[in-house]
């Protein structure tokens, strides 16, 4: 092999190596998601997943549910209540709209769960009726105030308990969502207010992860 041939061979090998590394980086970014794009969509992933406390609550069908057993799907936990005048109906309507525009495979790997911050009024029947106005597949859970506060604090979305002795009381709470992975651990947050188009661009790739 002449010097020219060796030079050409080395250059071809270098080009192949660079192309291979570039392709690997692109594929890796596609599988892991673009962190900047996720943040821009309001999706904040934790550097390490958090365990969710094993709290016993009751779902919208009156069945017992343990919160650390929300597994098999990505869960969007929204802390709200059915008598909420503004944040809750707005948030649930947006989530319904986002869900309606997601690809079928993404919808199948995602669930919305309303955690009531008003257990005094939010019975399972009340939750089921209320959530049915938005989406029949939206889930709801209610439990003791102590259990709800413990859960909210564990996923860093606290709320201020209301004075239930006052008529027509309201509950101060956040519009942020806690993001749980299919293993039941908390993976991050979705910050309010939501940008539907940016969420639609990022959620399909996110929920493909295990």
Cβ–Cβ under 8 Å, residues 149 and 155: no
DSSP characters over 39-105 = HHTTEEEEEEEEPPP--EEEETTS-EEEGGG--SSEEEEEEE-TT-SSHHHHHHHHHHHHHHHS-HH
Cβ–Cβ under 8 Å, residues 209 and 181: yes
- Edge-to-edge strand list for the sheet holding 177-180: 43-50, 186-190, 177-180, 74-80, 110-116, 139-142, 56-59, 64-66
Please indicate if the annotation marks 80 as binding a ligand.
Answer: no
Please indicate if the annotation marks 162 as binding a ligand.
Answer: no
Please indicate if the annotation marks 88 as binding a ligand.
Answer: yes
From the annotation, which residues make up the binding site for Cu cation? 84, 88, 173
From the annotation, which residues make up the binding site? 84, 88, 173
């Amino acid at each position: 092999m002449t010097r020219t041939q060796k030079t050409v061979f080395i250059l071809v090998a270098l080009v192949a190596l660079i192309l291979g590394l570039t392709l690997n980086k692109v594929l890796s970014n596609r599988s892991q998601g673009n962190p900047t794009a996720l943040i821009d969509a309001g999706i904040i992933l934790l550097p390490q997943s958090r365990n969710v406390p094993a709290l016993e609550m009751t779902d919208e069908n009156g069945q017992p549910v343990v919160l650390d057993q929300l597994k098999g799907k990505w869960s969007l936990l929204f802390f709200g209540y059915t008598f909420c005048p503004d944040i809750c109906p707005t948030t649930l309507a947006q989530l319904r709209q986002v869900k309606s525009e997601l690809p079928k495979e993404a919808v199948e790997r995602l669930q919305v769960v309303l955690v009531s911050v008003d257990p005094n009024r939010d019975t399972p029947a009340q939750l089921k009726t209320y959530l049915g106005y938005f989406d029949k597949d939206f889930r709801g859970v209610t439990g003791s105030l102590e259990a709800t506060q413990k859960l909210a604090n564990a996923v860093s979305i606290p709320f201020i308990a209301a004075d239930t002795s006052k008529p027509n009381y309201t509950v101060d709470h956040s519009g942020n969502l806690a993001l749980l992975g299919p293993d039941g651990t908390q993976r991050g947050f979705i910050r309010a207010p939501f940008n539907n188009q940016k969420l639609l661009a990022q959620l399909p790739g996110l929920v493909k992860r295990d």
